[in-house]
Amino acid sequence: MTDPILTVDRITKHYETEAPPAVDRVSFTVHDGEILAILGPSGCGKTTMLRCIAGFERCSSGRVQMRNRTLASNDTHVSAEQRGIGLVFQDYALFPHLSVLDNVLFGLRYHDLEDKEGRARKALQMVGLQSYADRNPHHLSGGQQQRVALARTLAPKPELILLDEPFSNLDALLRQGTRQEVRTLLKDNGLSAVLVTHDQEEALSFADRVAVMRQGRIEQVGTPEEVYYQPRTLFVAQFLGRTNLLMSDADGAHADTPIGRLPLNREASGRVLVSLRPEHLTLAAPNDVADPDPRTSGKVVERAFKGHDITYRVACNESEYLVHTSNRFSFQPGDRVCIRPLEPGVVLESSPAASSVD
Amino acid sequence: MIPEYWRTLWRDQLRDRWYLLLPVAFVVIGVLIPLGYLLIRAFQADASELYALVVRMRNLELLWNTLALTGGVLAGTVLLAFPLAWLTTRTDLPGKRALTWLGVLPLAIPGYVMAYALLGATGSQGVIAETIGLPLDRLSGYTGAWVALSLGTFPYLFLNLRTALLGLDPAIEESAQALGYPRWQVFLRVVLPQLRPAFLAGGLLVGLHVIGDFGVVSLMRFETFSYALYLQYAASYDRIYAAWLALMLLALTIAVLFLEARLLKGLLYHRTGTGTGRQATPLRLGAWTAPAYGFVGAVGLASVVVPVATIIYWMSASVDVGVPWGGLASALWDSFSASAPAALLAATLAIPVAYLSVRMPSQLTSGLERVAYLGYATPPLAFALALIVFTLQVLPFAYQTLGLLIVAYALHFMAEAIGPIRSSMYQAPPNVEEAARSLGRTPMQAFVSVTLPLLRPGITVSIAFVFLSAMKELPITFLLSPMGFETVALNVWSYANEAMFASAAPYALAIMAFSAAFVGLLLVREKSTSRKTHAASAP
């Protein structure tokens, strides 16, 4: 791997001495051309952390480094304007008294560049708004304002871009398309980015890696597949989607679970909590199973047909399980079924890791 | 924990913007230090002399006069403002929207102009006697001051009550009615208690106005602390007693502020439910419509028609002998040359104060903002005397200079400049400034290139407010103006003081024009802000 462009090392931000810190010893790195998403519920400290990187908040302790340049440490604090980090705000923060073009030109004024206007127009072209250069930001739609904000950030060609919930003010239809466009734009320009969001679908589809944050701490960092399929903690498992939790007894690579003996994703022993995503379970009619385990037989309680797939709620030994199947299996409420696991169970840590290091 | 708190505040917020504190420090020093010198001056006498100054019947008399006038005017304004506010908000009185103006227009007539007009209207040679042959005794003393101040200050109460009445949730009254209360009981037990904060807020403004008033009591020759302070200052060089009178005036003001804060404690009523508040069904006046019009007409007649007609009457007398255009022009220039720089200075000082209190809300910044209001609440005569004492002892070269007058205006009226700048600050959200910084601007450059242009409308309004207020200011001008400096306000007062009503008329008209512009600006702003908040709250 190449040298990281951004290294965040155990940064902590205290607002009040007595209160728990808003950001608690957070560490991660961002590599060249990588998009990292910081995912967490509102109030988890993700925006504070982003503002520490941007330079608008002073870290109480810890270090922020970009390439070989220390931006923040116990005795340094490079001010925001000298960091050369691009920032896209949730509500875009366009300058209402300037035209679209002047908004984009704003960031180029202090750079020693030729043909600033040409560059600004090129940035607008990149986001498909070249014909809106003379408009006032008030007269643009939310999606267009968002793209002006992006052009304004991209025009000075920063190496790193921070995005603070940039898609949350767009309506659902527009959001997905814009997300894809922005991702393509960042990738085509080889830019590194940190995205902050509370929307797990957005984080999983937009980022190369996802860091899941909770109460000021990062609980897990990994590729979207890793954090989704191999959640390390109960919080990560539940925050990224619906899941079935099984209190099990593990002995090495296997565990006895309420729905039978299962292979595990890693070795464990004693009482552990095992997570199985609904799509990692399937259903079978009792007649089709050669040797039905009584622990796995249950009854369909509810069926939600969603076109390409079906979600069942299945009652089994006084517990309920969610099962996500393709639409080829069709059971009706009341049908007797057998629950069949398709993947190994994921062992969850009983308590969150003390700190997470990439 | 307090040192820790200040340390964090300094490190996180102020270290990069220390220069913001300079104008704030100027205000704090400009207001508090002179008041400190007033205190020092007051104690520059030996003990027996001090005893004689402080413990004397005259002080009690002045206190009684001041309190009696304040109480009387409060009662008078309630009698004028409450029925008017109720009629124009909760009844079906035809034309009530237009009648609302009656509750606002008296603001365009400063106290000393109102007193002058009442003096010129009554008496055997007054306008009323001359035109309709009704010989009224010339108003003076307590009655004169009471009438002039009640008519001139009831709008403060009216505006507060009107807002409160419009904000009442009719569902609360309807619930009381549904529980079996008759209408008048609902009024007593439900409506009136909810209006208490408005009564207190409006009453505070009226009370401070009366305590600090100089123009009316001096023209009506009624001895309150203010008037006695002026007489003492003008008649002799015994500044120590003048300083004592100023301190007593100050103490009274502080007592009123404390009383109001105490009474207001825990009195914040909100609608607890969600959903949209609607307006109450207007009460049908029926046969009471005529008496209602009679009341409204009488208020309008006394507070607007009589004063304006009187001034126009005396103006025509002035036209007969020739309007002193030269004098008027030079007075206008004198007023302008002090008011315009003061307005610019006040707005310049108000920007950092508003910025700090909006962007870095904390105990410290709200305390700083309160200091700015301290200059406003300090009775103008006491403030002016404090500045005189201070300059004579510390900056003798500044005594009786235009510069000192300008600084005094700016410090006194700065509170008026903070409001508009503060609300336009909300139009310039902090992340716009942060966006500028992430694009390479220093905090100062970001402020100048992004926030300042967005504040421009607010700054313009602030300058206009302070300019118009300073144009009609009387007591500070009285004590601090340089030798031979004759503003428009001073001309009105001195001619009226010598019962030269015709000579005062042109100057009084000029003052009324400025005041009307001030009120107009106030109303336009009120309307546009209420529309803005309305638009913002709409989904």
Q: What is the pLDDT of residue B217?
A: 92
Average pLDDT over residues B94-105: 84
- A63 & A174 share domain: yes
Q: Report the C-alpha gap between B56 and B496 in whole angstroms.
A: 32
- A17 & A60 share domain: yes
Q: What is the pLDDT of residue A244?
A: 92
Q: What is the pLDDT of residue A358?
A: 37
- A269 & A226 share domain: no
Measure CA B374 to chain center: 13
The tokens of A56 are what? 């608008």
At A249, phi and psi to the nearest 5? -110, 115
The domain of A315 spans 244-348
User: Is the Cβ pair B440, A107 closer than 8 Å?
Assistant: yes
CB neighbour list of residue A168: distance below 8 Å, 6 or more residues apart:
A90, A197, A198, A199
- Number of Cβ atoms within 10 Å of the Cβ of A226: 14
CB neighbour list of residue B381: distance below 8 Å, 6 or more residues apart:
B212, B214, B226, B229, B230, B246, B249, B475, B476, B478, B479
The whole-angstrom distance between B11's CA and the closest CA on chain A is 9
- A218 & A252 share domain: no
By the 10 Å C-beta count (0-12 exposed, 13-18 middle, 19+ buried), B187 is classed as middle
* Identity of the highest mean pLDDT range in B152-166, B313-327, B524-538: B152-166
Which residues in chain B (436-455) have CB-CB distances under 8 A to chain A? Answer: 436-443, 445-446, 449-450, 453-454
Residue recorded with tokens 């090495």: A252
Residue of A nearest to B450 (CA): A95
B350: left (phi over 0), alpha (psi -120 to 50) or beta: alpha
User: Is the Cβ pair B4, A79 closer than 8 Å?
Assistant: no
Measure CA A1 to chain center: 22
Last residue of a domain, one of A215, A237, A259: A237
The whole-angstrom distance between B81's CA and the closest CA on chain A is 42
Q: What is the pLDDT of residue B171?
A: 74
ipTM: 0.76
* Among candidate residues B276, B88, B280, the one with its CA nearest the CA of residue B176: B280
Amino acid type, B529: T
User: Is the Cβ pair B439, A57 closer than 8 Å?
Assistant: no
Measure CA B110 to chain center: 10
The tokens of B302 are what? 């006394």
Q: Report the C-alpha gap between A13 and A58 in whole angstroms.
A: 8
User: Is the Cβ pair A106, B439 closer than 8 Å?
Assistant: yes
At residue B19, does pLDDT exceed 80? no
* Residues of chain B positioned with their CB less than 8 A from the CB of A58: 11-12
Amino acid type, B298: A
Condensed to tens digits (0 to 9), the pLDDT of residues B242-283 reads: 888 888 888 888 888 888 778 877 655 544 444 445 666 777
- In-domain check, residue A53: yes
Q: Establish, for the pair of chains A and B, how many residue pairs have beta carbons separated by less than 8 Å.
A: 72
Specify the DSSP class assigned to residue B17. Answer: G
Q: Report the C-alpha gap between B539 and B535 in whole angstroms.
A: 8
At residue B537, does pLDDT exceed 70? no
User: Is the Cβ pair A95, B436 closer than 8 Å?
Assistant: yes
Q: At CB < 8 A and 24+ separation, what contacts does B53-60 make?
A: B53/B240, B53/B241, B53/B244, B54/B244, B58/B228, B59/B248
* Among candidate residues A158, A210, A208, the one with its CA nearest the CA of residue A34: A208
Q: Are residues B242 and B232 in contact, defined by beta-carbon separation less than 8 angstroms?
A: yes
Q: What is the pLDDT of residue B269?
A: 53
Kindly indicate the confidence band of residue B346, based on its pLDDT and cuts at 50, 70 and 90: very high
Q: Give the CA distances from residue A127 to residues A150, A172, A181, B165, B500, in Å, rounded to whole numbers and listed in that order.
A: 8, 20, 9, 52, 75
Q: Report the C-alpha gap between A189 and B504 in whole angstroms.
A: 76
Average pLDDT over residues B192-197: 84
Q: Report the C-alpha gap between A41 and A54 in whole angstroms.
A: 21
Residue of A nearest to B432 (CA): A93
- In-domain check, residue A255: yes
Q: Report the C-alpha gap between B130 and B317 in whole angstroms.
A: 13
- In-domain check, residue A250: yes
Last residue of a domain, one of A219, A237, A255: A237
- A298 & A333 share domain: yes
- A195 & A99 share domain: yes
Residue of B nearest to A150 (CA): B435
The whole-angstrom distance between A86's CA and the closest CA on chain B is 6
The whole-angstrom distance between A215's CA and the closest CA on chain B is 22
At residue B538, does pLDDT exceed 50? no
- The sheet carrying A336-341 orders its strands as A281-284, A336-341, A297-305, A309-316, A319-326
Specify the DSSP class assigned to residue B50. Answer: H
Q: What is the CATH number of the domain that holds A254?
A: 2.40.50.140
- Bridge partner residues of A69 (DSSP): A66
**Which residue of B438, B444, B454 to mutate against A (max A Cβ within 10 Å)?**
B438
* Among candidate residues B197, B204, B234, B228, the one with its CA nearest the CA of residue B214: B228
* Among candidate residues B410, B419, B416, B412, the one with its CA nearest the CA of residue B357: B419
Q: What is the pLDDT of residue B273?
A: 44
User: Over its length of 358 residues, how does chain A's per-residue pLDDT go in tens digits?
Assistant: 567 999 999 999 988 777 889 999 999 999 999 999 999 998 899 999 999 999 888 888 999 999 989 999 988 888 888 888 999 988 888 888 889 999 999 888 767 777 888 889 998 998 888 899 999 888 888 888 988 999 999 888 898 999 998 888 888 888 888 889 899 989 998 999 999 999 999 999 999 999 999 999 999 999 999 999 999 999 999 999 899 999 999 998 999 988 888 899 988 888 999 999 999 999 888 887 777 777 888 899 999 888 888 999 999 888 899 999 887 778 889 889 989 889 999 999 865 443 333 3
At residue B137, does pLDDT exceed 70? yes
- In-domain check, residue A353: no
Mean pLDDT of chain B: 82
**Which residue of A79, A81, A145 to mutate against B (max B Cβ within 10 Å)?**
A81
Condensed to tens digits (0 to 9), the pLDDT of residues B432-455 reads: 888 998 888 888 888 888 888 888
The tokens of B151 are what? 């008519």
Q: What is the pLDDT of residue A2?
A: 61
- A26 & A162 share domain: yes
Kindly indicate the confidence band of residue B382, based on its pLDDT and cuts at 50, 70 and 90: confident
Q: Report the C-alpha gap between B133 and B338 in whole angstroms.
A: 43
CA A350-A352-A357 angle, to 5 degrees, is 135
SS3 B283: strand
- In-domain check, residue A95: yes
Q: What is the CATH number of the domain that holds A158?
A: 3.40.50.300
User: Is the Cβ pair A81, B454 closer than 8 Å?
Assistant: no
Last residue of a domain, one of A208, A237, A266: A237
Higher pLDDT, A51 or B533: A51
Locate all alpha helices (DSSP H) within B168-267, ordered by sequence: 170-178, 183-186, 192-194, 196-212, 215-220, 225-235, 239-264
CA B137-B141-B145 angle, to 5 degrees, is 100
The tokens of B421 are what? 């700048």
Looking from the CA of B120 toward its CB, the CA atoms found within 13 Å total 31
Residues of A with CB under 8 A from a CB of B: 17, 54-58, 79-87, 89, 91, 93-97, 106-107, 109-111, 149, 152-153, 156
- A67 & A85 share domain: yes
- Bridge partner residues of A276 (DSSP): A244
Amino acid type, B91: T
Q: What is the pLDDT of residue B279?
A: 66
User: Is the Cβ pair B438, A110 closer than 8 Å?
Assistant: no
- In-domain check, residue A354: no
User: Is the Cβ pair A89, B446 closer than 8 Å?
Assistant: no
At residue B183, does pLDDT exceed 80? no
- A120 & A159 share domain: yes
* Residues of chain B positioned with their CB less than 8 A from the CB of A89: 431, 434-435
Least CB–CB distance from B16: residue in A79, A110, A111 = A79
Q: What is the pLDDT of residue B14?
A: 66
The whole-angstrom distance between A338's CA and the closest CA on chain B is 50
Q: What is the pLDDT of residue B529?
A: 59
- A97 & A208 share domain: yes
* Among candidate residues B206, B255, B222, the one with its CA nearest the CA of residue B106: B206
- In-domain check, residue A66: yes
Q: Write out chain A in H/E/C secondary structure.
A: CCCEEEEEEEEEECCCCCCCCCEEEEEEEEECCCEEEEECCCCCCHHHHHHHHHCCCCCCEEEEEECCEEEECCCCECCHHHCCEEEECCCCCCCCCCCHHHHHHHCCCCCCCCCHHHHHHHHHHHCCCHHHCCCCHHHCCHHHHHHHHHHHHHCCCCCEEEEECCCCCCCHHHHHHHHHHHHHHHHHCCCEEEEEECCHHHHHHHCCEEEEEECCEEEEEECHHHHHHCCCEHHHHHHCCCCEEEEEEEEEEEEEECCEEEEEEEEEEEEEEEEECHHHEEEECHHHCCCCCHHHEEEEEEEEECCCEEEEEEEECCEEEEEEEECCCCCCCCCEEEEEECCCEEEEECCCCCCCCC
Q: Are residues B450 and A95 in contact, defined by beta-carbon separation less than 8 angstroms?
A: yes
- A201 & A250 share domain: no
At A309, phi and psi to the nearest 5? -150, 175
* Among candidate residues A36, A33, A5, A354, the one with its CA nearest the CA of residue A222: A36
* Among candidate residues B255, B253, B245, the one with its CA nearest the CA of residue B210: B253
CA dihedral A29, A32, A37, A38 (to 10 degrees): 20
Q: Report the C-alpha gap between B520 and B532 in whole angstroms.
A: 18
The whole-angstrom distance between B445's CA and the closest CA on chain A is 10
Condensed to tens digits (0 to 9), the pLDDT of residues B207-216 reads: 988 998 898 9
SS3 B455: helix
* Among candidate residues B118, B127, B123, B117, the one with its CA nearest the CA of residue B135: B123
- The total number of residues shown for chain A amounts to 358
At residue B534, does pLDDT exceed 80? no
Buried b (16+ CB within 10 A) or exposed e, B368-388: bbebbebbbbbbbbbbbbbbb
Q: Are residues B365 and B374 in contact, defined by beta-carbon separation less than 8 angstroms?
A: no
By the 10 Å C-beta count (0-12 exposed, 13-18 middle, 19+ buried), B430 is classed as middle
Least CB–CB distance from A95: residue in B4, B438, B450 = B450
The whole-angstrom distance between B435's CA and the closest CA on chain A is 7
At residue B22, does pLDDT exceed 60? yes
Which residues in chain B (452-481) have CB-CB distances under 8 A to chain A? Answer: 453-454
Q: Report the C-alpha gap between B405 and B388 in whole angstroms.
A: 10
**How many domains does chain A fold into?**
2
* Residues of chain A positioned with their CB less than 8 A from the CB of B431: 89, 91, 93
- A223 & A257 share domain: no
Least CB–CB distance from A93: residue in B431, B440, B443 = B431
**Which residue of A97, A138, A145, A150 to mutate against B (max B Cβ within 10 Å)?**
A97
* Residues of chain A positioned with their CB less than 8 A from the CB of B435: 87, 89, 93-95, 149, 152
- Number of Cβ atoms within 10 Å of the Cβ of B294: 10
Would strands A209-214 and A217-222 be described as parallel, antiparallel, or unpaired? antiparallel
Condensed to tens digits (0 to 9), the pLDDT of residues A217-248 reads: 999 999 999 999 999 999 999 999 899 999 99
- In-domain check, residue A217: yes
* Residues of chain B positioned with their CB less than 8 A from the CB of A93: 429, 431-432, 434-435
